[in-house]
Structure 1
């Protein structure tokens, strides 16, 4: 890591810390993620789920991993540098808000990244505004630390994802959820872009389900039978309340936007569209500002030294 000069700390969490850094020779600014997890060798670093997924995911709407370094029994991931997160952008827009065209552009790029990720055999499991990165109009999915292979055998952990964006099947402790958990999260994020406030700001799992019911209404046995089975296992009963409806929560959204968010935030995962289907929704039809995915570069993995690998 002596090749880099640390500029500033960008953030930290249970995983470790992220820093902005400058390459001393080239002057390139990058983001370096230092994991708290001990990593005694490069081979151990390369076996980490985030590296496994990022080495296979090569798309303009997914953040690019440039190299992996193992030093001092620590793992360092070197990423392309993105100026800010979607959460930062939401904060900056508190006074003016987003136009629907801006929301359309952001969401289209998120769906492009997710469609590719799901097609490649992975799902993110922790989609939230902090993990959507922005730079000069480009929107990229970041922080793939919770990413899992779609075909990996259950049981899956039931505490993934930030609670405000956690799908109801995960809140009800399902151990067999699927990529549709990402679609629920995108629906909540999309609504937040309109209102600039979290759609379901729960304080606990039970409160989160209550918040969901207060907006979209409680599920019925006919609309989500498996949800009632999950709830029964937990000795949980859905609250007897009617939802105010998405239109009341995000009155500035168009009818087509409401319909898309409603489908994404369906109780039953099977009723949610795939990311590929969402890209074909009428909400995106007719816009001339939606960026198309640029051609993918060929990804190669080259050894830089005994302690690092380059992804080029």
Structure 2
């Protein structure tokens, strides 16, 4: 049961385990032969009789989307180099081989000096992230789990969006899952169980943009209600007209006594404007990745 991206399977040696999840592990590996480049190997062990239950949707989505995007070889999307699935008794071993990037954005920020990142560095990281998002959205792909742990940063400063386990191809009749995007980067419409579109990724990008300045997450709620509260403390409470009409949570259920805190008062006008356009409550008014790239902030970059 092979699904190799290449005609010849990629041969490699595992060097070290670098991450572990509920379905398997991620390893640092080295290619055997060739130029002996470093690789990231994701190994999934899918228990149960997959002939009856099938391969989990998140695995199928990740492989399918990475294979779809591989043709374009976009510099800001992590590359899938090989994929294969092999029966292991009644379970299934699935292996994805990806290009290796030495750290994610969370690790990168943890190494930043106390004075923070330079403005040029922030602009460079953000413009690369937006170029990756613009490519995804142009191809109707919603990432749906954009966070620092899923944004890779190479030692040379190259940014690559990774982990497409929650990504979806957007269509008009898509059944959208409410429990997407890690809580701290989750858009208000997702928190309010409303319909959403590619603008959910732009909200997450706005949260990451703020984090590049703060060196910590902007909204750190521990429940969905608390997360909304923290959002409203920064962007203000929305008008009833902007409240999503399809949300099961009525506008009248909120009687907030919210004081707005300006947590990013040291931002320059262009930076503040772009951040506010990413963190706009109403999804249809939120800036797109393409328009964000044309923002004056990046005009001299």
Q: TM bucket by the smaller chain?
A: 0.7 to 0.9
Question: Is 1:221–1:228's contact at 8 Å kept on the other side of the alignment?
Answer: no
CA-CA distance at 1:238 after TM superposition = 5.4
Aligned partner of 2:22 among 2, 14, 24: 14
Q: Secondary structure at the match of 1:157?
A: coil
Kindly tell me the number of residue pairs found equivalent between the two proteins.
280
Going from structure 1 to structure 2, the CA distance change for 1:236 and 1:54 (only over 3 Å counts) comes to farther
Query: Aligned partners of 1:267, 1:153: CA distance in 2, in Å?
Result: 23
Structure 1 residue 10, shift from structure 2 partner = 1.5
Structure 2: distance between partners of 1:162 and 1:45: 20
1:179-236 deviation digits (Å, cap 9, x = unpaired): 00000000000000001111000001011001101111111113x1326854219x84
Aligned match of 1:226: 244
1:272 is the counterpart of 2:265: no
Choose which of 54, 71, 77 in structure 2 pairs with 1:62.
Answer: 77
TM-score by length of 2: 0.86
**Contact kept? 1:85, 1:133, Cα under 8 Å:** yes
1:147 aligns with 2:184: no
1:207 paired with 2:215, answer no
Over the residues paired in the alignment, what is the CA RMSD in angstroms?
A: 2.4
Matches within 5 A, 1:106-185: 106-135=125-154, 136-151=156-171, 153-174=173-194, 176-185=195-204
Distance 1:184 1:81 in 2: 27
Contact 1:194-1:252 at 8 Å conserved across structures: no
- Residue of structure 1 equivalent to 2:46: 37
> Is the 1:227–1:268 contact (alpha carbons within 8 Å) kept by the matching residues of 2?
no
Give, in angstroms, the shift of residue 22 of structure 1: 1.1
* Equivalence for 2:65: 53
Deviation at 1:2, TM superposition (A): 9.4
Partner secondary structure for residue 106 of structure 2:
helix
Partners of 1:103 and 1:36 in 2: CA distance: 38
Return 5+ residue gaps in structure 2 as ranges.
Answer: 1-8
Rounded Cα–Cα distance in structure 2 between residues aligned with 1:17 and 1:232: 42
Alignment partners' CA distance in 2, 1:177 and 1:229: 11
Partner of 2:119: 100
The aligned residue for residue 291 of structure 1 is none
Q: Which segment is superposed worse, 187-196 or 251-260?
A: 251-260
Shift of 1:17: 1.8
- TM-score w.r.t. the length of structure 1 is 0.83
